[in-house]
């Protein structure tokens, strides 16, 4: 439930999905994560209190954070990696293609990204089995991401021939890093089951995607546009930067915060 500026990160991710047309969201959570369920639930006591105290601005904010989506929850009982977490959604997805959004990434300032819509369009028109969002990262950062091996690039769409999870810069097939959003056809579940656990006993989703490509199925990547950068919340330096950037862009408090920040930096 880590917040960035005014909202918890999960709220941004859910809002982004809803803005891109997703109407059913399954959270795959784990032990001690019930705060996520509480966050998306209604809070009649708080509503009553705010109404009684005439806090209309806060009430308005609460209404705005209500999502036009149905939310479901399930738990991954053991930390067996991202691939295993996706398997927890198998019954939920059924026979339908589905979007995966990782909770450590916000796309676009204040989650204003439309990349998932673009990915859905590419998935449908190119009859892909998988479409993944990618962004270019500096060479020394490939070891933090899944990296795609491009076969062909046409505008923002990359045909992927292989993928490697967290390669050293010298082994990286490109600098195009998986950016935390994926669309899969349900065929991926069988392939995840075929993946062998890595040294940490985790089932990597990237390895299942690799099998997809190996089988000759169409795996495509869509490059994030320059104005929709990915904010990585998974490590402290970029979490701090994201917080400051979002706070500076806050319509109500941004200008004042900028002044304060200038004072703090020049002191
Ligand atoms: C996961 C994926 C990786 C992807 C990254 C994006 O790694 O395994 O391929 O590039 O998310 O956030 P994690 O950050 O969970 O180690």
> Which domains, and CATH codes, for the chain?
3-234 (3.90.550.10), 235-267 (no CATH)
**Closest atom, ligand 1, to C-alpha of 145:** 10
Query: Is it the case that residue 63 has pLDDT exceeding 90?
Result: no
- C-alpha 52 to ligand 1 mean position (Å): 45
- C-alpha 259 to ligand 1 mean position (Å): 36
- C-alpha 247 to ligand 1 mean position (Å): 25
The CA–CA distances, whole Å, from 131 to 75, 127, 183, 239 equal 25, 10, 5, 26
Residue nearest atom 12 in ligand 1 by C-alpha distance: 180
Query: Is it the case that residue 32 has pLDDT exceeding 80?
Result: no
pTM > 0.95: yes or no: no
pLDDT at 104: 92
The CA distance from 146 to 176, in Å, is 8
pLDDT at 167: 96
Q: Ligand 1 pocket by C-beta < 6 Å: which residues? A: 82, 102, 104-105, 145-146, 165, 177-178, 180, 205-206, 234
pLDDT at 133: 98
- C-alpha 203 to ligand 1 mean position (Å): 12
Q: Higher-confidence residue: 222 or 58?
A: 222
The CA distance from 97 to 120, in Å, is 10
Q: Is 37 strand, coil or helix?
A: helix
What's CA 128's distance to the chain center, in Å?
Answer: 20
DSSP label of 196: P
pLDDT at 50: 79
Query: Is it the case that residue 267 has pLDDT exceeding 80?
Result: no
pLDDT at 210: 96
Indicate the top mutation candidate among 9, 132, 134, 145 to test ligand 1's pocket, ranked by most ligand atoms within 8 A of CB: 145
Q: What is the mean pLDDT of residues 197-209?
A: 94
The CA distance from 110 to 243, in Å, is 10
Q: pLDDT averaged over the chain?
A: 93
pLDDT at 68: 84
The CA–CA distances, whole Å, from 168 to 6, 83, 127, 176 equal 36, 21, 32, 13
Query: Is it the case that residue 79 has pLDDT exceeding 80?
Result: yes
Query: Is it the case that residue 64 has pLDDT exceeding 70?
Result: no
Where residue 42 falls among pLDDT bands split at 50, 70, 90?
confident
Q: What is the mean pLDDT of residues 6-34?
A: 92
Where residue 186 falls among pLDDT bands split at 50, 70, 90?
very high
Query: Is it the case that residue 65 has pLDDT exceeding 80?
Result: no
DSSP label of 140: G
The CA distance from 37 to 35, in Å, is 5
CA 204, 208, 211, 217 dihedral sign is negative
Tens-digit pLDDT profile for residues 101-149? 999 999 999 999 999 999 999 999 999 999 999 999 999 999 999 999 9
Indicate the top mutation candidate among 9, 76, 79, 82 to test ligand 1's pocket, ranked by most ligand atoms within 8 A of CB: 82
């Amino acid at each position: 439930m880590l917040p960035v500026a005014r909202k918890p990160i999960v709220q941004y991710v859910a809002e982004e999905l809803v803005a891109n047309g997703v109407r059913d969201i399954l959270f795959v959570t784990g032990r001690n994560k019930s705060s996520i369920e509480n966050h998306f639930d209604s809070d009649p006591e708080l509503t009553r209190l705010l109404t009684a105290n005439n806090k209309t601005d806060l009430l308005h904010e609460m209404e705005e954070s209500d999502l036009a989506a149905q939310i479901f929850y399930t738990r991954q009982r053991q930390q067996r990696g991202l691939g295993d977490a996706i398997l927890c959604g198998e019954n939920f997805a059924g026979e339908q293609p589905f979007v995966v959004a990782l909770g450590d990434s916000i796309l676009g300032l204040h989650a204003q990204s439309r990349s998932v819509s673009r990915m859905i369009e590419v998935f449908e028109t190119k009859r892909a089995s998988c479409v993944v969002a990618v962004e270019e990262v500096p060479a020394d950062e490939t070891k933090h991401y899944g990296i795609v091996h491009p076969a062909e690039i046409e505008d923002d769409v990359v045909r992927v021939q292989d993928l490697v999870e967290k390669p050293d810069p010298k082994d990286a097939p490109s600098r195009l890093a998986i950016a935390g959003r994926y669309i899969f056809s349900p065929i991926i579940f069988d392939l995840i089951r075929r993946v062998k656990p890595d040294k940490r006993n985790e089932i990597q989703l990237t390895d299942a995607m690799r099998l997809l490509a190996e089988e000759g199925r169409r795996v495509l990547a869509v490059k994030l546009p320059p104005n929709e950068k990915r904010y990585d919340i998974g490590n402290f330096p970029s979490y701090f930067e994201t917080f400051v950037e979002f706070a500076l862009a806050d319509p109500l408090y941004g200008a004042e915060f900028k002044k304060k920040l200038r004072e703090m930096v020049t002191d």
